[in-house]
Amino acid sequence: MEQISLSNLAWGIKAVISDVDGVFTDNRVLEGAPYKAKWRSYYDGQGVSLLRAIGIRVCLITNEKGDSAKHIVDVVEKWNNLPSSEKTPGDGGWHHVKLYPGMGGIKKVIAAEEWLKEIGISFEHCAFMGDDLVDAPLLQKVSLRAAPISGDPAIKRMAHFVSERVGGMGAFRDFANFILEARGIDPLSLSPQ
């Protein structure tokens, strides 16, 4: 896909959905601990804030559930309790981040359809970042497909955008930065959280 048309796709995006493990984490799990320890980067969280600051809705859909999803449940709760999340959207406030745990494969598509219907946005104005085969059905539905450079080769071949950084170490931030750059928005002009 040509850079110009890719930038045009980024202009039309109103909602971004992402997988969690392999995108927001490095896809590794520390076994043997009383909980599932995972690594994530604050760069990616700032990427979520940058998108929210320009009015893009954000949703995370993960196959993990219960204790395995606790880390991302806690992070999303933290994001949704930022001062900007407590104001009214359109009046300086940001829309809440939506999280769907326990959704893999075709269930990711079902969750995405539910969320997009709820917020009145179509797949035509939606992007998705995923890293593995379980993400393929949803990648095929959206207009702008993204993958971390550490993603499965088949998924990277499907993607319009591939990050420079690996999952869990800034991949989602690379995608957020791309969307801002395509729209001519300087991230330093946005209010940090």
Mean pLDDT (whole number) for 10-16: 95
**Contact (Cβ atoms closer than 8 angstroms) between residue 151 and residue 131:** yes
Planar angle of CA 87, 91, 95, nearest 5 degrees: 55
Q: Which residues contact 181 (CB under 8 A, 6 or more apart)?
A: none
Range of the structural domain that residue 67 is part of: 3-185
- What phi, psi does 70 have (nearest 5°)? -55, -40
Asked if residue 193 belongs to a domain, the reply is: no
CA–CA gap between residue 31 and residue 8 (Å, rounded): 43
**Contact (Cβ atoms closer than 8 angstroms) between residue 138 and residue 23:** no
Local structure of residue 125 (DSSP, 8 states): G
Length of the chain measured in residues: 193
Structure tokens at 58: 């954000």
Structure tokens at 115: 């969320």
Write down the pLDDT at residue 86. Answer: 73
Q: How buried is 15 (Cβ within 10 angstroms: 0-12 exposed, 13-18 middle, 19+ buried)?
A: buried
Domain count for the chain, please give it: 1
Whether 22 has a pLDDT exceeding 60, the answer reads: yes
Amino acid 163 reads S
Asked if residue 77 belongs to a domain, the reply is: yes
Asked if residue 119 belongs to a domain, the reply is: yes
Write down the pLDDT at residue 187. Answer: 86
74 vs 43, higher pLDDT: 74
Whether 2 has a pLDDT exceeding 80, the answer reads: no
Asked if residue 192 belongs to a domain, the reply is: no
CATH of residue 115's domain is: 3.40.50.1000
Whether 36 has a pLDDT exceeding 80, the answer reads: no
| pLDDT tens per residue, range 150-175 | 999 999 999 999 999 999 999 999 99
Asked if residue 22 belongs to a domain, the reply is: yes
Local structure of residue 135 (DSSP, 8 states): G
Write down the pLDDT at residue 1. Answer: 45
pTM for this prediction: 0.91
**Contact (Cβ atoms closer than 8 angstroms) between residue 128 and residue 142:** yes
Q: What percentage of the chain reaches a pLDDT higher than 90?
A: 64
Asked if residue 38 belongs to a domain, the reply is: yes
Asked if residue 108 belongs to a domain, the reply is: yes
**Contact (Cβ atoms closer than 8 angstroms) between residue 30 and residue 63:** no
| pLDDT tens per residue, range 79-95 | 999 888 777 766 778 99
Strand 126-129 relative to strand 15-18, pairing: parallel
Task: List, in sequence order, the alpha helices (H) in 60-148.
Answer: 70-79, 106-119, 136-139
Whether 73 has a pLDDT exceeding 70, the answer reads: yes
Asked if residue 74 belongs to a domain, the reply is: yes
**Contact (Cβ atoms closer than 8 angstroms) between residue 100 and residue 58:** no
Least confident of 30-39, 55-64, 67-76: 30-39
Structure tokens at 191: 């209010």
Strand 98-100 relative to strand 126-129, pairing: unpaired
